[in-house]
Amino acid sequence: MEAKCLGSCPWRIYGSWKQHEATFIIKSYEKIHKCSRTKWYRVRSAALEKLRGSVEDHYALLGPYVSELKRKNPTSLFQIVCDREYTGAPPIFKRIYIGFYALKNGFLQDCRPIIGFDGCFLKTFLGGQLLSAIGVDGNNQIFLIAWAVVEGENYDAWKWFLGLFFDDLQITEGYGMTIVSDQQKIVRSMEESELNRVLEEMAADSPQAHQAFISIGLIFFCQAYISTNCKSDNVTNNISKTFNGYILNARSKPIVDMLEEIRRLLMQRMYMKRVMIVKWTDDICPNIRKKLEINKEERRFCIVIPSGNLKFEVQYMSKIHVVNIDNRSCSCWRWDLIAISCNHAVSCIVWMKDDPDKYGTSRDRSRGRASTSSSGRGRESTSSREVEPPHQPEEDQEGEHPTLQEMTQVAVEWQYLVVECQFVQAEENGVAQLFENEISEFNAYK
């Protein structure tokens, strides 16, 4: 079997099957090309169209494809949005939403209540973007919940996607869900004193950036104010970026092939995770086990002073921490936030001659289903004659927690704030026209 370029280009490859074996051998190969790059692209496009079909064929298949998805998954949510230039004109594809019931149910029952939203570009000549909602499972790994193909990452597309997503999952106003959206790089400070110090440094370096950050609202971005219900310390959108890289090859395919490739990747990933967890003999998930073992090693640097009523004062390096075993809390805030016993808590549990493995949440377990649990920053005080460690900060007032609508709106405003900053910089460099559409859309939104 031989293949070569037409004309004067010397590129050539020759191979044949090995006798009595299912092996194909390349016997000669001339890798030098002298034909133009545009010719390569034309040949590649023709070959891909022959293998996969034309773009028109794929968009024509979307209707039957979604109908088949609905037939096989009657409890799932799939929706196509089309535009028409005028009455009676043929429909023009605009958006499609994919939400499998199995993924939704798996997230609601067994994953941490934290969702990352992000968008990535599609690599076909028609463009478009893929929006995704990503959760975090009990092993602190990504768990895709739903995704959509839209015309672009704009306010209208995000509003449509989030509306379908929240309605499908029946997520209402409350404090049970933590949302991490695109463009957020949340301050990592866990204690308010440390947060104030970081803010002072930001104000000294850039007063404009400090003022913009404060105007958005610290409660939306800072780890010190994250609700402990999410049981996760994720403060970036890395969970979404990981998924974008995971489907990198699929994003260059026509739309039906891309959607099928994503479905197959998820089906294979879920099967491999299921096989892994069945073989796992420990009661605690692998990644959680690693963190817990590190904390067990670091407990040797802790000095435990008991107070009574399952309360302890722990000296670690040059800092003093207060641990309340009954409330599953520590003044370092890590046990409250991620539900994995910190080294201070582990030292107290070992002092009690108890097993630190028992002091986790059901979401960290490799067996069983997760049940809904909530945890606040409050501390119940009890009158006692024993000398007790200082009280930790009181519970946040209900009004200080953002609603779901506020969180969604702030995420969109933060995204366009970044675009506005890029516009100012581009205006200085003489390329402001690149951001005119985004700025006009932002002004219309405001």
- Scanning 319-402, the segments in alpha helix (DSSP H) are 334-338, 343-351
Query: In percent, how much of the chain has pLDDT > 70?
Result: 71
CA distance 185 to 238: 10
Which amino acid, 441?
Answer: E
163: helix, coil or strand?
helix
Q: What is the model's pLDDT at position 71?
A: 92
Q: What is the model's pLDDT at position 245?
A: 79
Which amino acid, 440?
Answer: S
Sign for the CA dihedral angle at 278, 283, 285, 291 comes to: negative
Residue listed under structure tokens 């006009």: 440
DSSP state of 284: B
82: helix, coil or strand?
strand
pLDDT in tens, the chain (446 residues): 888 887 788 888 999 988 888 888 999 998 887 887 787 778 777 887 787 778 888 888 899 999 999 999 999 999 999 998 888 888 889 999 999 998 999 898 888 888 888 888 888 878 889 999 998 888 888 899 999 999 988 889 999 999 999 999 988 776 567 777 654 444 555 566 666 777 777 788 778 877 777 776 666 556 655 655 555 555 555 666 677 778 888 888 889 999 999 998 888 888 888 888 888 888 888 888 888 899 899 988 999 999 888 999 999 988 899 999 988 888 887 888 777 889 999 999 999 999 988 887 655 555 543 332 333 333 333 333 333 344 333 444 344 455 555 555 555 555 555 555 555 555 655 555 555 665 565 566 55
Q: What is the model's pLDDT at position 101?
A: 92
CA distance 351 to 369: 31
CA distance 141 to 134: 10
Cα 348 to its chain centre, rounded Å, is 34
- The token pair at 96 is 């499609």
DSSP state of 46: H
CA triple 266-270-272, angle to 5 deg: 115
pLDDT tens-digit series, residues 210-254: 777 777 666 655 665 565 555 555 555 566 667 777 888 888 888
